[in-house]
Structure 1
Amino acid sequence: MAPASVEGLKIIILGGGIAGLTTALALTKFAPEGQVPKIDIYELRPELATIGGAVNLTPNALRMLDHLGALPIMKERHYGRTIDYLEVFDVYSGKLAESSFSGPDGKGIGNPPYKALRITRGDALKAVIAAVEEQENITITCGKKTVKIDETVDNVTLSFEDGGSASADLLMGCDGIHSVTRLKHVEPERKAVYSGVSNAFGFAPIEKDFKVHFECTAINFARRGMLLTSFHNPEGDSVYVGGLMQVEDVGSRDGWKSVGADAEKTREQLLERFGDAKIPCIVPLIKKATDFFLWPVFTLSKDGKWCTDRVMLLGDAAHAMPPQGESTGIVFEDTVLFSRCLARWIEKGKPNTMKEAFNAYEKLRKHRIATAFDESKNVVSTVSDAGWLGHTIKTYVVPWFLWYTRSYREKHFIEDVTTVDINY
Structure 2
Amino acid sequence: MQNQSQNPLPSLQPLSILILGGGISGLTTALSLTKFTPPTHPPPSIKIFEIRPFPATIGGAVNLTPNALRLLSYLGALHEIERLGYGAPCEAIEVFDLYTGGKIAESSFKGKEGRGLGDPPFRALRIGRGEALKGVLAAIDKYPNIEIECGKRTVGIVEDGEGVKLTFQDGDTATGDILVGCDGIHSVTRLLHVEPERKGVYSGICNAFGFAPHIGKFQPVHFTTSAMNFSRRGMLLTSFHSPEKDSIYVGGLMEVPEIADRDGWKAAGKDEEKIRAEMLERFGKDAALDLIPQLIHDAKELFLWPVFTLPKSGKWYTSRVILIGDSAHAMPPQGESTGIVFEDGVLFSRCIARWMEKGGEKGGMPVREAFEAYEKLRRGRIDAAFEESQSVVKTVRDAGWLGHIVKMRIVPWYLWWTRAEREGHFVEDVTRKELNY
TM-score (norm 1): 0.98
Which residue pairs with 2:413 in the alignment? 400
Superposition map of 1:3-402 within 5 A: 7-33=13-39, 34-93=41-100, 94-208=102-216, 209-275=218-284, 276-350=286-360, 351-402=364-415
1:13-53 Cα deviation digits (max 9, x unpaired): 00000000000000000011223100000000011115520
Where does structure 1 differ by over 6 angstroms across 4 or more consecutive aligned residues?
A: 1-6
- The answer for unaligned runs of 5 or more in structure 2 is none
Contact conserved, 1:50 with 1:123, CA < 8 A, in 2? no
Contact conserved, 1:50 with 1:126, CA < 8 A, in 2? no
Distance, in Å, in 2 between the alignment partners of 1:78 and 1:422 is 36
Distance, in Å, in 1 between the alignment partners of 2:86 and 2:172 is 38
Superposition map of 1:410-421 within 5 A: 410-421=423-434
Contact conserved, 1:15 with 1:43, CA < 8 A, in 2? yes
1:361-420 Cα deviation digits (max 9, x unpaired): 000000000000001001111001001111111001100000000000111111110011
Distance, in Å, in 1 between the alignment partners of 2:433 and 2:159 is 32
- Give the CA deviation at 1:110: 0.8
1:250-271 Cα deviation digits (max 9, x unpaired): 1111110110011111011000
Contact conserved, 2:359 with 2:365, CA < 8 A, in 1? no
- The answer for unaligned runs of 5 or more in structure 1 is none
Contact conserved, 1:41 with 1:140, CA < 8 A, in 2? yes
Residue 66 of structure 2 aligns to which amino acid in structure 1? Answer: P
User: What count of residue pairs does the alignment treat as equivalent?
Assistant: 424
Residue 180 of structure 1 aligns to which amino acid in structure 2? Answer: V
1:40-99 Cα deviation digits (max 9, x unpaired): 000000111155200000000000100111001111111100011110001012111011
Which moves more between the two structures, 18-27 or 201-210?
201-210
Distance, in Å, in 2 between the alignment partners of 1:223 and 1:16 is 38
Where 2:300 maps in the other structure, the secondary structure is: coil
1:259-300 Cα deviation digits (max 9, x unpaired): 001111101100010122111211001111122010000000
Where 1:260 maps in the other structure, the secondary structure is: helix
Where 1:200 maps in the other structure, the secondary structure is: strand
Distance, in Å, in 2 between the alignment partners of 1:187 and 1:216 is 41
Residue 217 of structure 1 aligns to which amino acid in structure 2? Answer: S
Contact conserved, 1:41 with 1:141, CA < 8 A, in 2? yes
Contact conserved, 1:203 with 1:290, CA < 8 A, in 2? yes
Where 1:292 maps in the other structure, the secondary structure is: strand
Contact conserved, 1:270 with 1:286, CA < 8 A, in 2? yes
Which moves more between the two structures, 268-277 or 185-194?
268-277
Distance, in Å, in 2 between the alignment partners of 1:22 and 1:286 is 34
Distance, in Å, in 1 between the alignment partners of 2:149 and 2:174 is 12
Aligned-pair identity (%): 62
Distance, in Å, in 2 between the alignment partners of 1:37 and 1:109 is 33
Where 2:301 maps in the other structure, the secondary structure is: coil
Contact conserved, 2:56 with 2:130, CA < 8 A, in 1? yes
Where 2:149 maps in the other structure, the secondary structure is: strand
Residue 97 of structure 1 aligns to which amino acid in structure 2? Answer: A
Contact conserved, 1:42 with 1:142, CA < 8 A, in 2? yes
Contact conserved, 2:226 with 2:237, CA < 8 A, in 1? yes
Which residue pairs with 2:422 in the alignment? 409
Contact conserved, 1:306 with 1:318, CA < 8 A, in 2? yes
Residue 240 of structure 2 aligns to which amino acid in structure 1? Answer: F
Residue 201 of structure 2 aligns to which amino acid in structure 1? Answer: V
Distance, in Å, in 2 between the alignment partners of 1:211 and 1:15 is 41
Residue 415 of structure 2 aligns to which amino acid in structure 1? Answer: L
TM-score (norm 2): 0.95
Residue 156 of structure 1 aligns to which amino acid in structure 2? Answer: V
